[in-house]
Structure 1
Amino acid sequence: LGPATLETLPPEPLLIAATAGTTDAGLIDPLPEIAALCARRGARLHIDAAYGGALLFSPRHRARLDGLAAADTVTLDLHKLGWQPVAAGLLAVRDGHDLAALNHRADYLNADDDTEAGLPDLLGRSLRTTRRPDVLKIAVTLKTLGRTGLGHLVDRVCAQAQEFAELVDRHPGFELHAPPTIGTVLFRPAGATDDTVAAVRRQLLTDGRAVLG
């Protein structure tokens, strides 16, 4: 929904969710306008920046995420544009009270005698309790490359996507859907049916030559 449509919602919406980088095309919602609307309407703002959030690392591209700082909560998946293996999801909150659910107690997870004895438990430390500590690989990458190093990688991906899109657009055998917003280039063989496109994509994958979405 665009800002104009959001204006027609009931007087007090509880939550509005915006997207910074759609899965298929990498499109980014008009975040400043949506943030301003939330401020006027008293609504909470969540921004799904799973794909596009890594643009923050790039001084050249981070302006595309203007308005992100106004969000109450933001999600990022650094396995999408952060050079991490799956899974590498992050939840950022403006108000620490939004993490109060981490303090929920369950008898089968929290043994009172162990807690009183000072033994650590994971219930208040992770949304996923005993799952693997995915944040470790993110921390290692940030420590190794830093924001500058990751920013250079983001710049390179965006530049290569733009260059590839220009090559596709000039080629008579392909149709470019639209200029890329981040790193996703949507194109197809000129005049091809959906079935033909699917067959080509699967054959390239089977042959080990390319992975196309």
Structure 2
Amino acid sequence: LDPAALDAALAALPGPHLVAATAGTTDAGLIDPLPEIADVCRAHRARLHIDAAYGGGLLFSDRHRDRLTGLDAAHTVTLDLHKLGWQPVAAGLLAVREPDDLAALHQRADYLNADDDTEAGLPDLLGRSLRTSRRPDILKTAVTLKTLGREGLGALVDQVCATAHEFADLLADRPGFELYDRPVISTVLFRPAHATDAAVAAVRRQLLHRGRAVLGRARPDDGRLWLKATVLNPHTRPADLAALLKAVEELAEGNAPR
């Protein structure tokens, strides 16, 4: 998100405004210039929401948390702890600066939170979540935080980020591959050199069908299709990455035009 373009857009459009910035894009793990965006929002009295679903876990790390400078300027923030929090897939959080921001979620249903039951001390379930029958994934998050603490989770974040950089180094040294860019968090985009988009897509599907690897796919600004490796397993080692590249290389050769 370009702060200058954002400034011009807010000046041209009637308010009120809500700006959504991103701290860790899905495709490449990119982080918007949060301090500059926050300054623009303050100047235009715009509300700022930051989607930190992927990158929010960097807060656990003393080494990487500076990349989220400016996050505290947001009015609301989303965090998805099934990524850099190692939680179940539904363990997402919405953090708000002002409790009144949750007023829109206040609902009443007599069979769930009758006044006399609430006064008698029974928990007000509907006031806790609109999805009253969902699994209590917050308990798993609490147990993880209690067990590992910020230092333990930070060590895991540091490990996967370091592994992603090792993978980028490995790709840079292999002439048979293209590296999209250095990883910002733990996502690495790469593709076999000179492969067509159809071949890249075929390689990804074949890796999946053969049980070799589960890679994502991304089509960033250059318009080409890239394989996406998001490193989230702290036990991944260089030998695992080398084996992955060998498998991709072999499949790419099999899918090359004849």
TM-score by length of 1: 0.94
Structure 1, unaligned runs of 5 or more: none
* Mapping for residues 144-163 of structure 1, pairs under 5 Å: 144-163=147-166
CA deviation vs aligned residue, 1:52-89 (integer Å, no higher than 9, x gap): 00000001100000000010000000101111121110
Tell me which residue corresponds to 1:6: 6
Q: In the alignment, what sits opposite 1:57?
A: 60
2:142 maps to 1:139: yes
Q: What residue number does 1:87 align with?
A: 90
Residue-pair matches, total: 213
Match of 1:74 among 74, 77, 87: 77
Paired residues of 2:58 and 2:157 also in contact (CA < 8 A): yes
Unpaired runs of at least 5, structure 2: 217-258
Secondary structure of 1:178's match? coil
Q: How do residues 127-206 of structure 1 correspond to structure 2 at under 5 angstroms?
A: 127-206=130-209
> What is the alpha-carbon distance in structure 2 between the residues aligned to residue 176 and residue 162 of structure 1?
11
* Aligned counterparts of 1:89 and 1:75: Cα–Cα separation in 2: 7
Check the 8 A contact 1:52/1:182 in 2, yes or no: yes
Asked if 1:121 corresponds to 2:124, the answer is yes
Equivalent position amino acid for 2:104 in 1: A
Query: Which range moved further: 101-110 or 167-176?
Result: 101-110
Native 8 Å contact 1:15 1:43 kept in 2? yes
Question: Letter of the aligned partner of 1:194 in structure 2?
Answer: D
Amino acid at match of 1:139: A
TM-score, normalised to structure 2, is 0.78
Matches of 1:38 and 1:182 in 2, distance apart?
Answer: 25
Q: Percent identity?
A: 77
Structure 1 residue 117 displacement after superposition: 4.6
